[in-house]
Chain A
């Protein structure tokens, strides 16, 4: 029988048969792993895949919660884009009568605005996704990439409602065409691009909290460079500037979407290699953003 005092172990010195082992040796002997260590990239992808239901459920829950206090509830998902279109129609279609060189200017404008808004909101939400959800990050275990991806899905869901409205107003310009089927691949490519960007900026935003304040200015610059409200094909600028405007990822996705939906936009006005750019941007930014985010996986939560 031993006395009680024997039970007071000096801190972090192994008892029993393991006396004399250092903490690291002891951990190795019993197969303990470092807590909160960053998993390898393939393991990380597997973990993320196993959390896919959480990612979607979290996005849907956020979206549902967004309109839960409004009397019209989920109807706002459709009302918001509809009202946006109405505003543009009022200003540009009736008051200013702009877009004489661009047929179906209101549809042209709405496509630009909706596609740009998708990237804009995904980037903004992505930037704040870690910093604004520190409580969640500090309470539960999950691959942190769930958050930026989830916020991008929220924006995708909102865009899908906008697309329904958009198809409705495009019907005023032309009847459905075979090229409408291209909408799906374009949205997938833009989603991958947006997710990558949201992931990269989530890491930046988690470390440098001022990023969220700076982003609106960068995004506004980007909007004017993306031909949201004007037709890049119609403007006269130096060649280098034209090339830059043509390969701008958002401009690429907007061009493609206009080409897919509007009969008045023909393939000959599209910049050269536009599909290659669309795929390239999605792959490079999507993968790059994911790897960049994963590299700091163990650091999120310090705040």
Chain B
């Protein structure tokens, strides 16, 4: 069996392969539907007269629109697998990840997971007006690290980001950073914690070439520590390098689910047309 998957080569280890063979499920997604409700999307919401006429005529407000982002997706992920999610923009990849992480409620269907899946990303918790130093602490706490853990890893987070390579920038507010520097610090904070089920949403494309190499390395490490990894990316090469299985989504529906080579080939063929 093992030989059959060597076609996807990449950075997978033999250990991970053996784990996959054991078929221990870590994520079970069963007929999942996710619906966003968007307020203020309808026409004429801004005009008071149209709002009034709606109230008078008792028509239902058109201002709440539903976006059906994921439609009936089912799959089972196993321990040791590293799964790429591909599809065009707006195909529901990120939404699917958030639903698996339990961050977006499911409209229908269910998601079962082993432990607490985590999204690699901490941007929303950071504040631009605070110093890099305080953001490291705040981000760590937001991800659920204890104060001791943060104290222990603080130096390695700062070193990894390379923020201090050109002077003492960590004690300056984050709004003074260049966009590359800020992205590097964000990635370093986010990648400081290891997870059972890890989900990465296009996090690889930050920083300069040297930092990108370093972050790819770190992601491979995280994969070793994690049971299962999900990776959303538009870069087919990074998917080929890191994933042994690919799920292809289009308009919220699952188009194909299988070994990396086959799915990517079909996906590229479809996109050439």
Contact = CB atoms under 8 A, between A and B. Distances in A.
A136 interface: yes
Nearest to A139: B124
Contacts of A136: 124-125, 142
A302 B39 CA distance: 11
Interface in B16-69: 21-31, 36-39
Interface in A261-303: 298-299, 301-303
Contacts of B102: 35-37, 141, 298
Nearest to A22: B30
Nearest to B102: A36
Interface residues of B, number: 67
A15 interface: yes
Nearest to A52: B141
Contacts of A209: 39
B101 interface: yes
B101 A141 contact: yes
Contacts, number: 180
A28 to B, nearest CB: 8
A201 B7 CA distance: 56
A35 B112 contact: yes
Given A27-B28, A53-B147, A141 B23 contact: no
B142 to A, nearest CB: 5
Contacts of A50: 144
A26 interface: yes
Contact of A65 (B39, B100, B123, B129): B129
B130 A61 contact: yes
A51 B259 CA distance: 40
B74 A23 contact: yes
A99 B31 CA distance: 68
B100 A30 contact: no
A189 interface: no
B75 A11 contact: yes
Interface stretch (A1-9, A166-174, A235-243): A1-9
> Of residues A3, A24, A299, which shows the largest number of chain B Cβ atoms within 10 Å of its Cβ?
A24
Contacts of B27: 32
Contacts of B119: 139-140
Interface string A238-264: 000000000000000000000000000
Given A7-B259, A54-B142, A142-B142, A302 B105 contact: yes
Contacts of A86: none
Interface in B127-151: 127-130, 134, 137-138, 141-144, 146-147
Of all A-B residue pairs in the complex, the 3 with the closest CB atoms, nearest first, are A36-B102, A12-B74, A16-B23
Interface of B: 1, 3-5, 7, 21-31, 36-39, 73-76, 98-106, 110-114, 116-119, 121-125, 127-130, 134, 137-138, 141-144, 146-147, 173, 254, 257-259, 261-262
Given A32-B28, A68-B129, A138-B104, 12 more contacts: A2-B1, A12-B31, A12-B74, A23-B110, A27-B112, A34-B112, A36-B111, A50-B144, A69-B129, A139-B121, A140-B124, A302-B36
